[in-house]
Amino acid sequence: MAHENKVIHSVNLYGDAICVDIFQRPDASFGFDEFRRDEEDGQGWFSIGHFGEQQFTSVAQTIEAAIGQVGWFEGV
């Protein structure tokens, strides 16, 4: 099954290896997750935060939750 979430904001931590994505699901709810990629393995991005199942009703609520749960994330 194809991934159907639409990324609203993506913020990288010091380069291109770790990021937080704020996304909207097809059901109009919002969520976020923290991802990492290792350039040397070519596998692409993978979740390291495992926050993606949380659901929010607005982008503002989602960003507030991400700020509270991802230590380095300061919002967008």
**What's the 3-state SS for the chain?**
CCCCCEEEEEEEECCCCEEEEEEECCCCCEEEEEEECCCCCCCCCEECCCCCCCCECCHHHHHHHHHHHCCCCCCC
Name the band, by pLDDT with cuts 50, 70 and 90, for residue 1: very low
Structural domain boundaries of the chain?
6-69
Average pLDDT, the chain: 91
Residue 3 has pLDDT above 80, yes or no: no
Q: What is the pLDDT of residues 9-19, one digit of tens each?
A: 999 998 889 99
Q: What is the pLDDT of residues 49-69, one digit of tens each?
A: 999 999 999 999 999 999 999
